Amino acid sequence: MKESNQNTVNRSSPKTLGDRKRFLTGIKPSGDVHIGNYFGAIKPCIDLSKDVQNEVILMCADWHGLTNRAEIMRPGQLSHPLIALLLALGYNIKENSIILQSDFPQIQENSWYLSCATAAGLLERSHAYKDAIANGKVPTASLLFYPSLMSSDIITFDSQFVPVGKDQAQHLEYASDMAKLFNNLVGVDVYIAPQGVIQETPTLIGTDGERKMSKSYNNILPVFATKKELEKCVKEIKTDSKGLNDPKDPNSCVIFQIFKSFASDDAIAYMKEKLEKGVGYGYGHAKKDFVDEHEKVFGSHRERYEYYCNNFNEVKKLLEPGYEKARSYADNVTKRARQAFGLKSYLN
Amino acid sequence: MKESNQNTVNRSSPKTLGDRKRFLTGIKPSGDVHIGNYFGAIKPCIDLSKDVQNEVILMCADWHGLTNRAEIMRPGQLSHPLIALLLALGYNIKENSIILQSDFPQIQENSWYLSCATAAGLLERSHAYKDAIANGKVPTASLLFYPSLMSSDIITFDSQFVPVGKDQAQHLEYASDMAKLFNNLVGVDVYIAPQGVIQETPTLIGTDGERKMSKSYNNILPVFATKKELEKCVKEIKTDSKGLNDPKDPNSCVIFQIFKSFASDDAIAYMKEKLEKGVGYGYGHAKKDFVDEHEKVFGSHRERYEYYCNNFNEVKKLLEPGYEKARSYADNVTKRARQAFGLKSYLN
């Protein structure tokens, strides 16, 4: 192989990427975004986009959402609301990108190239695939192929860094290993092997006070619930039997635990003090303060969210500059891969 | 699933395709084309393209050629010569198409959609994958995924018919099964389940007189060898010890067996008679007649082949109308698949 490719062997990094650190981060459009998601995944992304040292490509991973046959219609329904939500909550779209995975066919093409350099056995070791089997499900071929597409999400845009939770370290290993396997196979450094940036992803307790907040446990508080909807959800937060004037422990109070994930510092300090003193401040008061603060923090964003949800073309226009940039990265990477194989084309 | 999709459920065939029967046939660019390939695969394709009742899409399957790590540079080197050969030998490009697989990203996209409807276990049953393991090789992830991409080759162009050898029946089963699984999953007939057309694919004996003609046995006669090259190859064809004036059995004469795969009827009758009579006609004469007839049949084509090999842009121009047609089919099919999922796009 290497003989036939001597002229192009170049083991140095394929590109100097400019001064900003390029991050790729993906979110699967899987349901109503709740405060647990906001706190664990959405807010870290938005914070990342606000640091001018970073160039963030946020991918709404609709193709990955199709790997589960039971939820095959979700990505189509939920991708636009997810992007609307990110914009409404202040993702810095002027300096960064949000892209819809299925708008970038280059990802599928590079996924094929990665898979040509990777042993089949590697795919079966993915947690998602093993979990499906352990749970008695019949995994789809796409779930088996998931590590390849996911790795391609990253390498297709020359991403250098990927924020990962502790339980996602395997994802980065896949992307990094497959990139290196490919580069070794063709004898040229085509793909950048990305680095993981471990992120503390705090899990939030659900309204049942027992398990982490999750749609599957039906214990969530939606980020963009109206005041009325929220009041109904908050009512169900479990509390102990302490009375109006009993001192209460904020650390064991589910209301406070959720409250502090989104409230302002002042509001947090206020509720903490009130609970600890416990004079004339019962759980009913805490729940009311919860709803008021939620409205204060998310209310105006909710209006913008609804506006973006209903104005598809407006969103499209906001995404356009980022799309163009991402496309040029993807075209560039794909061209490098094709050149490494010497593939012909009758297109241009 | 079906509930959320009630409005679009339409179980009738997606398109009336016009009067011509649409065929898809794929050839992997895997090496110098020899008379065995010509006889078994190339000529049947060319014949198919000459029947005006057919619309043939001939795919040069370079992506499939990448599934074997040891031959990763071949598809890039061999795809253009293969297309040049098809054109030189009279493929009817005016009424049909020749396409390079890697020029159609829609194939990878639809491959993903098919894989979302298919159980992972199905992939492991492919002959190619099982053979690799049985031969002690470490199969690549792409080889494991091969049935999905191959099925997508077919369904992406709304192909109705696929010529298959007896040993390729499994390919068609994959394509047909995966198309139906997908249609059932989304509740709409998005993909056409193709039908196989069993083709007698005669295998030709090699110059060793022992095994079928195959590059891996080093017993081939290239279609476009020069007279000199051919003379050298033909010299090595094994013969028995019968003398100049002995009657010879054409059925056990390797020269004649290969000769009759490409020679004109008259030339075949002539050699047959000469061998059977055996008066003053030895194997040396037969070999000379072989080389002369080969030059007569392939000589002028060889010149055109060399011209096409060296004039990439000329070939590109010849392919253009077929490319446009194939692209419109592929775009149409991909659009139907995306609509079935309700996938969004910020592109157009």
Tell me which of A56 and B200 has the higher pLDDT.
Answer: A56
Cβ–Cβ below 8 Å for A121 and B102: no
DSSP code, position B59: E
Topology at the third CATH level for domain A224-300: Tyrosyl-Transfer RNA Synthetase (1.10.240)
Question: Residue range B220-229: average pLDDT?
Answer: 92
Report how far apart, in Å, the C-alpha atoms of A2 and of each of A6, B64, B70, B77, B138 are.
6, 20, 11, 14, 20
Walk across the sheet containing A97-100 and list its strands. A97-100, A54-60, A21-27, A161-164, A195-198
Query: Within 10 Å of residue B51's Cβ, how many Cβ atoms?
Result: 15
Listed residue (A306, A144, A283) closest to A223, CA to CA? A306
Q: Which residues pair with A197 in a beta bridge?
A: A163
SS3 labels along A168-180: HHHHHHHHHHHHH
A129 lies within 8 A of chain B by CB: yes
Tokens of B149: 């991409």
Phi-psi region of B90 (alpha: psi -120 to 50; beta: other; left: phi over 0): left
Instruction: Supply B94's token pair.
Output: 């005016």
| Chain B contact for A115 (CB, 8 A cutoff) | yes
Please give the Cα distance from A59 to B190 (Å, whole number). Answer: 27
Decide yes or no: CATH 3.20.20.140 for domain A3-203+311-341: no
The distance of A72 to chain B (nearest Cα, Å) reads 7
Mean of pLDDT values over A23-47: 91
CA pair distance B201, B193, nearest whole angstrom: 23
Whether residue B1 has pLDDT greater than 70: no
Give every CB contact of residue A118 below 8 A, 6+ residues apart in sequence. Answer: A148, A177, A178, A181, A182, B140, B141, B142
> Mean pLDDT over residues A30-40, rounded?
88
State yes or no: pLDDT of A8 exceeds 60.
no
Going from N- to C-terminal start, the domains of chain B cover 3-203+311-341, 224-308
Tokens of A203: 């899990």
Hunting for tokens 């492919």 — which residue is that? Answer: B126
Judging contacts by C-beta atoms under 8 Å, the chain A residues touching residue B145 are: 112, 115, 141, 145
In this complex, is the C-beta atom of A58 within 8 Å of any C-beta atom belonging to chain B? no
Q: Residue A230: its pLDDT value, please?
A: 93
What is the rounded CA–CA span in Å between residue B343 and residue B336? Answer: 10
Judge whether residue A9 has pLDDT over 80: no
Q: What are phi and psi of B144, to 5 degrees?
A: -65, -35
Interface test with B, best of A3, A79, A122, A142 (most B CBs within 10 A): A142
Measured between CB atoms, does B62 come within 8 Å of chain A?
yes
CATH classification for the domain delimited by B224-308, as one of 3.40.30.10, 3.30.360.10, 3.40.1620.10, 1.10.240.10: 1.10.240.10
Is B66 within 8 Å of A113 (Cβ atoms)?
yes
Whether residue B2 has pLDDT greater than 90: no
Q: Are strands B161-164 and A54-60 parallel, antiparallel or unpaired?
A: unpaired
User: What's residue A17's pLDDT?
Assistant: 64
Torsion sign across C-alpha atoms B280, B282, B287, B293? positive
- Round to whole Å and give the CA distance between B348 and B346: 6
Within 8 A of A100 by CB-CB distance, chain B residues are 344-346
Record: contact A100-B319, CB cut-off 8 A: no
pLDDT tens per residue, range A66-78: 999 999 999 999 9
Torsion of CA B95, B100, B106, B111, to 10 degrees: 110
pLDDT digits (tens, 9 = 90+) for B194-208: 999 988 877 899 999
pLDDT band at B221; cut points 50, 70, 90: very high
| A273 vs A268: CA distance, rounded Å | 9
Confidence of residue A176 (pLDDT cuts 50, 70, 90): very high
Per-residue pLDDT at A283 exceeds 80: yes
B119, A138 Cβ separation under 8 angstroms:
yes
| Average confidence (pLDDT) over A22-37 | 91
Comparing alpha-carbon positions, the chain B residue that sits nearest to A74 is B341
pLDDT at B294: 96
CB A63 within 8 A of CB B329: no
Query: What pLDDT is attached to residue B17?
Result: 65
